[in-house]
């Protein structure tokens, strides 16, 4: 760890205060002490205190979120802060291992704070500190990876990431790496991570560290792996569902298959709506895969299940039109008479129960009915009197009741004296839904 950073963590003026630390933090501190030069080692750590505030970011957009702007001790998990914003799940906090190693290049300090793994995913939480305001040199601090080795082995993987500004010079983020390998990720391993850029700034932030499996002591018995080997014939492909892995972090589904027509599968692969045996939808996270000619492999990643279901229900679908010019908007004028129903085509509808025009925000109370509520719910927007669409941030939509699929969208403040419509899209022109099938888990 950088000496200056470590000095910040060791405050002489609070050396009489005693803080009970969790085992994973103690191990993290031990790792830090071992990495220090001999003359810098300390025998006692009495307290670690820091403060930060949270703000919200979009691509090329920097706005403060005052509801999250509060002092948070550094001992709090970065995953915990990210979960407050992105609702990634409390298990990322519960099963995380602290790393807390920093590298500085070109005035940008990157810290690998925490890591979470299951048998096919590695998720890393970062803090990025800039010696300038981000808006001066980096509009969006996307983390670019040029090296990722587990036990000196390159793994083919897909990657996704999200982040949040803490202040004008600090950004927290997480990256999830999904591995399409026959062999599971080991519980303990050596990770070699190379970062080649932060946004438009190129550089070198190279990390090598051990992942010991701390925080995972109870997860082995929580892993449930099924090999259904279920064959399904769809209109555009034949597939075999080879493996389903249920972990505290993800629901991972591995399939292989054959395209029936290569020309029909050049742009978009099939995706899935997934449901448990209570017919509750499981939120999709990401998908990836590889192909060689007509043969392909695909990995589908969803949120973890709350309990092990007897079966999973799958409703496959495919995007048939992603062009904005070919879409149909469905809208209704806001006249203070509720409910307002917005049809989304055969897939279902949105039901607007109330809209509150407040001084600092606009709140839309609504629920979703249809085939895939957790897909439909985010397609909602206002239309002003000039025909301009006013979309909100995805993460400003909060689930209120998961059984009834009720939501509140916190939108920007709108003038209650002006005329607005509220709208959605006709999904009949966007996706094609195929006949569903069940996968028995036994």
User: Mean of the pLDDT values across residues 230-254?
Assistant: 95
Alpha helices in 114-207 (DSSP H): 134-137
Distance CA 10, CA 5 (A): 9
Looking at 49-53, 91-95, 107-111, which range is the least confident one? 49-53
pLDDT at 68: 42
pLDDT at 122: 93
The token pair at 285 is 């996270």
pTM: 0.77
User: Mean of the pLDDT values across residues 249-274?
Assistant: 87
Q: CB 123: neighbour CB atoms within 10 A?
A: 23
User: Mean of the pLDDT values across residues 94-100?
Assistant: 92
Residues 407, 377: contact at Cβ < 8 Å? yes
The token pair at 19 is 């803080």
Looking at 206-215, 270-279, 401-410, which range is the least confident one? 206-215
At residue 302's C-alpha, the angle toward residues 221 and 427, to 5°, is 160
Assign 420 to helix, strand or coil. coil
**Max CA-CA distance within the chain?**
72
Each residue's pLDDT tens digit, 178-207: 887 656 788 889 999 999 999 999 999 999
Assign 300 to helix, strand or coil. strand
Calculate what percentage of the chain has a pLDDT beyond 90.
61
Each residue's pLDDT tens digit, 26-53: 444 444 444 443 333 332 222 222 222 2
pLDDT at 32: 43
Looking at 59-68, 103-112, 114-123, 235-244, which range is the least confident one? 59-68
pLDDT at 69: 39
User: Mean of the pLDDT values across residues 365-387?
Assistant: 97
Residue 60 backbone zone (phi > 0: left; psi -120 to 50: alpha; other: beta):
left
Which residue segments constitute the domains of the chain, with CATH numbers given? Answer: 3-211 (2.60.40.1630), 223-323+431-440 (2.60.40.1640), 329-425 (2.60.40)
């Amino acid at each position: 760890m950088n000496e200056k950073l470590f000095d910040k963590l060791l405050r002489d003026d609070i050396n009489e205060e005693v803080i009970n630390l969790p085992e994973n933090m103690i191990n993290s501190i031990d790792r830090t002490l071992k990495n220090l030069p001999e003359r810098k080692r300390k025998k006692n750590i009495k307290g670690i205190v820091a403060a930060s505030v949270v703000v919200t970011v979009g691509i090329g957009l920097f706005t403060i979120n005052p509801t999250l702007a509060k002092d948070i001790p550094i001992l709090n998990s970065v995953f915990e802060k990210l979960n407050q914003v992105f609702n990634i799940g409390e298990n990322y906090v519960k099963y995380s291992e602290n790393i807390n190693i920093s590298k500085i290049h070109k005035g940008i300090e990157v810290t690998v704070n925490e890591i979470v793994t299951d048998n096919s995913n590695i998720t890393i939480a970062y803090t990025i500190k800039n010696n300038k305001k981000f808006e001066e040199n980096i509009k969006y601090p996307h983390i670019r990876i040029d090296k990722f080795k587990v036990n000196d082995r390159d793994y083919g993987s897909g990657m996704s990431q999200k982040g949040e500004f803490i202040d004008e010079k600090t950004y927290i983020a997480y990256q999830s790496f999904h591995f399409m390998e026959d062999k599971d990720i080991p519980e303990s391993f050596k990770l070699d991570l190379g970062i080649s850029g932060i946004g438009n700034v190129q550089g070198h932030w190279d990390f090598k560290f051990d992942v010991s499996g701390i925080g995972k002591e109870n997860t082995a018995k929580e892993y449930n792996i099924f090999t259904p080997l279920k064959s399904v014939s769809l209109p555009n492909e034949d597939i075999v569902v080879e493996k389903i892995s249920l972990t505290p972090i993800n629901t991972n589904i591995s399939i292989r298959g054959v395209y029936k027509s290569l020309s029909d599968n050049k742009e978009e692969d099939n995706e899935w709506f997934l449901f448990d045996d209570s017919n509750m939808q499981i939120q999709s996270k990401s998908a990836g895969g590889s192909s060689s000619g007509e043969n392909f492999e695909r990995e589908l990643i969803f949120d973890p299940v709350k309990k092990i279901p007897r079966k999973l229900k799958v409703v496959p679908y495919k995007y048939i039109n992603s062009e904005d010019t070919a879409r149909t908007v469905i809208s209704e004028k806001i006249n203070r008479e509720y409910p307002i129903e917005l049809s989304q085509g055969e897939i279902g509808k949105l039901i607007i129960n109330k809209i509150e025009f407040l001084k600092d925000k606009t709140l839309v109370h609504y629920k979703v009915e249809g085939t895939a509520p957790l897909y439909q719910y985010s397609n909602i927007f206002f239309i002003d009197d000039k025909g301009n669409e006013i979309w909100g941030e995805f993460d400003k939509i909060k689930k209120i009741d998961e059984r009834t699929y009720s939501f509140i969208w916190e939108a920007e403040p709108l003038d209650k004296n002006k005329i607005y419509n509220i709208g959605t899209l006709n999904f009949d022109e966007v996706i094609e839904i195929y006949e569903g099938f069940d996968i028995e888990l036994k």
